[in-house]
Amino acid sequence: MSSLLRRLPLVAVPLVVLITAGCSTSSSTAGSSASASSGTVVVVASTNVWGDVAQQVGGNLVDVTSLMTDPSADPHSFEANAQTQLAVSKASLVVENGGGYDDYMDTMLSSLPSKPVVVNAVDISGKTAAAGGELNEHVWYDFATVTKVADTIADELSTVDPGHADTYAANAKAFDAQVATLTQSTAELKTTVAGKGVAITEPVPGYLLGNLGLVNKTPAEFSEAIENETDVPATVLADTLALFSSHQVAALVYNEQTTGPQTEQVLAAAKAAGVAVVPVTETLPAGKDYITWMTANLDALRAALTA
């Protein structure tokens, strides 16, 4: 079971919101009325990462609301409320991450008498937990998955709004071409950096690092404790810090949205040893879309690992 599944709070939804949501008689009716009133298809995404992908595919034919958007906040602490429940109740299409990352979305959806179309990124990815391990639900760092999700969004939008099916398909094709450029850049960088050791604080960038052929040398107990918000055992912390003092890793890839005393200690150790630090986030930074964000991540890794 994903650690986030255990961490995310259940949603307490006020009765008034459920009554509001109950005004629609069917998912198709709710979607049609929402679209007709604004001229666009109403889409709700759990994070602005998937919200941006939906926007790229839908263009000006969709009205996208992303629930988790603050690049300086820990997404794991997000709590849904009456306002977010109301937004979901009006959606024709919902894009969730799945894998335990945003279970509050399923809680809200289960309270609706009429369900919108739901796209679940983890389900689409086909990713599963390794034997004896936990699923890495941060699938937006895997470019093949992002392409699959974009194509699925196009298909589902075409179901909701068949009159613009050709536009959604064309937009998805254009977005996929941009993602293909990221995939090509990854393959090119892999030829130079594959086999190098890196450390992480959480498995957020795990798929990207794996696709680059990098070796995560962080003790599993360390990243598991950080993700589960428990104390890292002293011996595990010492082993993690030794990665830097002994120069076993070429970079620390650091989730700057989830920090605490022990991750800050690791960050300080990396800097003291002259090990490159590459910050990553779980949501889109201000002013970036998915493509520019991931391009910047690849550029940062290239600079850190080929210096």
- The tens place of each residue's pLDDT in the chain, 307 residues long, gives 344 333 334 343 333 333 233 332 223 323 333 443 458 999 999 999 999 999 999 999 999 999 998 877 777 778 889 999 999 999 999 999 999 999 999 999 999 999 999 999 999 999 998 887 889 999 999 999 999 999 999 999 999 999 999 999 999 999 999 999 999 999 999 999 999 999 999 999 999 999 999 999 999 899 888 877 888 999 999 999 999 999 999 999 999 988 889 999 999 999 999 999 999 999 999 999 999 999 999 999 999 999 8
DSSP assignment letter at 286: T
Give the whole-angstrom CA distance, residue 115 versus residue 124.
19
- Could you tell me the residue ranges of all domains in the chain? 3-182, 194-305
Check residue 155 and give its pLDDT.
98
Check residue 71 and give its pLDDT.
74
Answer CATH for 3-182 from 3.40.50.720, 3.40.50.1980, 3.90.470.20, 3.20.20.10: 3.40.50.1980
Q: Fill in the amino acid letter for 9.
A: P
Check residue 77 and give its pLDDT.
75
Contact between 41 and 58 (Cβ < 8 Å): yes
Check residue 38 and give its pLDDT.
59
Check residue 29 and give its pLDDT.
29
Answer CATH for 194-305 from 3.40.1410.10, 3.40.50.960, 1.10.3720.10, 3.40.50.1980: 3.40.50.1980
Task: Give the long-range contacts of residues 243-249, CB within 8 A, separation 24 or more.
Answer: 243/197, 243/199, 243/217, 243/218, 244/199, 244/269, 244/270, 244/272, 244/273, 244/275, 245/269, 245/273, 247/273, 247/275, 248/197, 248/217, 249/196, 249/197, 249/198, 249/199, 249/217, 249/275
